[in-house]
Structure 1
């Protein structure tokens, strides 16, 4: 009986994914054509051939659709943090999560094009940028909390927050490099950024400078 019920469940999940992808594709296309601030939820829904009510089943704001927001991505990342091998370092765990996301992309070049387009839109729309900052901060807080719990860090510890922040920055810089015309893959650029963080961005950092003011350091 359970085996007979599995296919419908699979079809429902595929349908939900197809609807979400249709909405994000329509939202991105319209935002590129008209500007993100000039697009309405009604227009996105019509372009995706769904009702406005259906739109709000998937996204709270039109900006979330334009950004390609998928809450399942965060849920999956949180699960991977919790299920990471016990002896794995926290920064390695974050690197494996990012690598898995990149591996899961069915069409990397197409996805990277969408990323580049969204970055362009972010630079042109203060509203879109504000939503992106809010979403990123929320995701980072949840990931840092999960990573901190796995590390045994006390609540509010800066270490897991810095690790998650470094991961976000590594991906962001890699995307910017791709957008600037790098012929290296996004995966290669992300790995390079992780290595730089892991090895220490500035091994020659003068720790005694922490006890000096800027003016004293210049004298």
Structure 2
């Protein structure tokens, strides 16, 4: 499989750049909470940091925190709501001649690109590398991405979200993404995450034959 990302067509606005002033303020608040949380996690360890600590560092209320995240571990999820919200549309809008697996692969590559543009991306990755026990908890918080993938696959194929094929493809794609990120965490720090994602999807396309 080729590189997962492609140049955007003119007028195709990245999810992170969409929305007006209200959306930009919400994005800024979310990023401030993530930056505060990740800094505290790196300084004190995730176990020692509470939601109250994060809120104090970001100068917001606990109520505000829970408007954005369900738990403190969720701040480590690298993709934001606008990216997830655009996932189904991007799958549906993929070239008709492109295979479904290739479309999902490319869309997840775009999701990585958006995540890597966030100011906390590298520090989030460091926290997860240093505390691998958090990876499974972050994976649970990726349920919304899996749901968005299932929605897009169902709409593209004319099926239902609860169809076993749709559910299995969405779940397998998210698992493949998680494995790629885990491999990247253990690899050379200068390695390209896209290379790990490409390799993981190539194995999937080849029927999961051993390397």
Which of the five TM-score ranges fits, normalised by the shorter chain? 0.7 to 0.9
Which structure has the larger Rg over C-alpha atoms?
Answer: 1
Structure-2 change in CA distance of 1:96 and 1:137 (3 Å): same
Highest relative contact order (Cα 8 Å, sep 6+), 1 or 2? 2
Structure-2 change in CA distance of 1:68 and 1:184 (3 Å): closer
Aligned-partner Cα distance in 2 for 1:158–1:41? 38
* Match in the other structure for 2:100: 90
**Alpha carbons 1:30, 1:39 under 8 Å: kept:** yes
- Among candidates 2, 22, 28, match of residue 38 of structure 2: 28
Q: CA deviation at 1:74?
A: 1.6
* Match in the other structure for 1:39: 49
Number of residue-to-residue matches in the alignment: 191
* Match in the other structure for 2:8: none
**Alpha carbons 1:77, 1:97 under 8 Å: kept:** yes
Aligned-partner Cα distance in 2 for 1:175–1:195? 15
- Among candidates 187, 194, 201, match of residue 194 of structure 1: 201
3-state SS of paired residue (1:172): helix
Task: Give unpaired runs (5+ residues) of structure 1.
Answer: 1-8, 204-219
Task: Give unpaired runs (5+ residues) of structure 2.
Answer: 1-18
* Match in the other structure for 2:88: 78
3-state SS of paired residue (2:172): helix
Q: CA deviation at 1:21?
A: 0.8
- Among candidates 101, 109, 134, match of residue 140 of structure 2: 134
**Alpha carbons 2:51, 2:62 under 8 Å: kept:** yes
Give a deviation string over 1:67-113, Cα, whole Å, max 9, x none. 45632232121221233333332111111212222333565897245
Structure-2 change in CA distance of 1:167 and 1:122 (3 Å): same
Bigger fraction of residues in helix: 1
Structure-2 change in CA distance of 1:18 and 1:199 (3 Å): same
The TM-score with structure 1 as length reference comes to: 0.71
